[in-house]
Structure 1
Amino acid sequence: MNLRIQLDTTNINWDLVVDILQKVGMGYHTAEIHQRAFNNSHTVVFVFDEDNLIGFGRAISDGEYQAAIYDVAVLPSYQGRGIGKTIIRTIVEDIPNCNFILYASPGKEKFYEKENFKRMKTGMALFVNAEKMNGKGFTE
């Protein structure tokens, strides 16, 4: 593995972003929507093996004390090799004074706990298109 980290959106193949999100079972939109979302984010991280995109993540933030992490995904064939950890740590290091929130894909909570994220006692969400969420993350 010859990993390369990129901290901007230059020359990203946005169709591959959609493809990776689909492969890991996460919510996804069109390539154009993801491009706008990443371009409008405070921090972005893309990981390549040689020239192949294998993972990414992003954070929105005020840059002072609050941030939210979104779209952390690593191709299944590369999972378990510390790439997700690298993405999370790179984001956190880029915004060092911030508190971070995120919601994890079901079954991935332990991954984030290893990176010192804690489960929250309360949390609320309002989704514009709730049916796209397929009930993920909702409690009764």
Structure 2
Amino acid sequence: MTTDIVLTFATEGIDWAEAASVFERAPLGTREPDVLRRTFENSDLTCFAWDGARLVGIARALSDLTVHSVIYDLCMLPECQGKGLGTRMMEAMLERLGTPGVVLWSVPGKEPFYARLGFKPMLTAMARFEDPERSAAGGYISL
């Protein structure tokens, strides 16, 4: 299935309402299309997966392009999950980032997928959230 899917890396021409739908159906939560557009346009690397004219996956990263990168928002439609597309998108992003250090944000429960790609749990990462109770309820932090 993933061999028919094309990856692109530019934000031009993206239907942000469609991207917000992919984000929500993945499920990574809800983002307003304009907020999603701004986060992607302000990222150092973006990746979009297309099944013909249909957007089926999105991802983005911030990076100093030398030492460290952070990958955010790797998500795809549920019917595309478990078929190698996430691995393909991650490998394409890691190759383009080219940094020796990469941190990523994972949805709770997806850690085994990232472990297969060589990622290890961090022991010292910390986060500050606008709504810590909601983040704790979602399994992202402990209070």
Q: Which amino acid aligns with 1:45?
A: C
RMSD: 1.5
AA aligned to 2:73 is: D
- Whether the 8 Å CA contact 1:27–1:133 is kept in 2: the answer is no
**Any stretches of 5+ residues in structure 1 without a counterpart?**
none
Task: Indicate which of 13, 20, 33 corresponds to 2:15.
Answer: 13
Cα displacement string for residues 102-134 of structure 1 (whole angstroms, at most 9, x for unaligned residues): 121111000000010011112110012435536
Task: Work out whether 1:139 is the aligned partner of 2:116.
Answer: no
Q: Provide the residue aligned with 1:84 in structure 2.
A: 86
**Which stretches in structure 2 are left out of the alignment for 5+ residues?**
none
Is the partner of 2:34 in helix, strand or coil? helix
> Structure 1 residues 24-33 or 11-20, which shifts more?
24-33
Map Cα deviations across residues 3-54 of structure 1 (whole Å, 9 max, x no partner): 1111101111111111112112213321111111111111110000011000
Distance change in 2, residues 1:6/1:132 (3 Å): farther
Residue aligning to 1:49: 51
SS in 2 for 1:25: coil
Alignment size in residue pairs: 140
Distance 2:134 2:16 in 1: 20
Q: Which residue of 2 aligns with 1:69?
A: 71
User: What secondary structure is seen at the aligned counterpart in 1 of 2:60?
Assistant: strand
Q: TM-score, normalised by structure 1?
A: 0.92
- SS, match of residue 90 in structure 1: helix
Within 1, Cα distance between the matches of 2:28 and 2:135? 9
Q: Aligned equivalents of 2:12 and 2:100: distance in 1?
A: 26
Q: CA deviation at 1:135?
A: 2.4
Task: Map Cα deviations across residues 74-115 of structure 1 (whole Å, 9 max, x no partner).
Answer: 100011111111111111101112411112111100000001
Which amino acid is 2:141 matched to?
F
Name the TM-score, length of structure 2 as normaliser. 0.90
Rounded Cα–Cα distance in structure 2 between residues aligned with 1:131 and 1:40: 27
* Cα distance in 1, alignment partners of residues 136 and 40 from structure 2: 23
